[in-house]
């Protein structure tokens, strides 16, 4: 239990400088769907083509194809995590403040008090 508490404290002190980059991890889901559909299409070929022609048509993947996808997804996830900027210290991010003055102009002349649009334009 002490090791679990220590791990929780360690994870709480970890901060990400660019946490919005973690949204890039969602790209793994469409990649997995695409991989699955391509694999399913290969199964259709296996059912409809003669066995002696299959090696010429298909690139055999077997378990290696599945393992390759998992390794590619893990590598991508680690790269995204590294780009998100893990840090042990939380840094202060400066907030953008415009240094340009703001000017508000109001037309208070009698033409702004015209009666064509009820009530008045003021």
At 89-103, the pLDDT tens digits run: 877 777 777 788 889
pLDDT of res. 27: 93
Look at residue 94 and tell me if it is in a domain: no
Mean pLDDT of the region 60-85: 83
pLDDT of res. 22: 93
Look at residue 109 and tell me if it is in a domain: no
For the ranges 29-33, 56-60, 110-114, the lowest mean pLDDT is seen at 56-60
Say whether pTM exceeds 0.75.
Answer: no
Look at residue 52 and tell me if it is in a domain: yes
Say if residues 88 and 15 touch (Cβ distance below 8 Å).
Answer: yes
Beta strands in 42-103 (DSSP E): 86-87
- pLDDT at residue 29 above 80? yes
Q: What is the pLDDT of residues 103-121, one digit of tens each?
A: 988 888 887 777 777 777 6
Full residue range of the structural domain in which residue 56 is found: 18-87
Look at residue 34 and tell me if it is in a domain: yes
Look at residue 25 and tell me if it is in a domain: yes
Beta strands in 64-113 (DSSP E): 86-87
Q: What percent of the chain has pLDDT over 90?
A: 19
Look at residue 108 and tell me if it is in a domain: no
**Total domain count, the chain:** 1
Residue tagged 């415009």 (tokens): 98
How would DSSP label each residue in the chain? Answer: -HHHHHHHHHHHT-EES-GGGGGGGGGHHHHHHHHHHHHHHHHHHHHHS-TTTHHHH----HHHHHHHHHHHHHHHHHHHHHHT-EESSPPPPPPP---S--------SGGGG-SSSSS---
């Amino acid at each position: 239990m002490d090791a679990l508490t220590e791990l929780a404290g360690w994870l709480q002190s970890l901060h990400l400088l660019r946490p919005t980059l973690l949204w890039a991890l969602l790209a793994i889901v469409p990649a997995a769907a695409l991989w699955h559909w391509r694999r399913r299409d290969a199964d259709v070929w296996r059912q409809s083509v003669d066995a002696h022609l299959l090696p010429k048509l298909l690139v055999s993947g077997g378990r290696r194809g599945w393992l390759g996808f998992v390794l590619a997804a893990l590598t991508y996830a680690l790269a995204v995590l590294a780009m998100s900027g893990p840090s042990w210290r939380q840094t202060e991010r400066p907030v953008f403040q415009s240094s340009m003055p703001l000017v508000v102009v109001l037309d208070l002349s009698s033409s702004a008090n015209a009666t064509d649009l009820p009530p008045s334009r003021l």
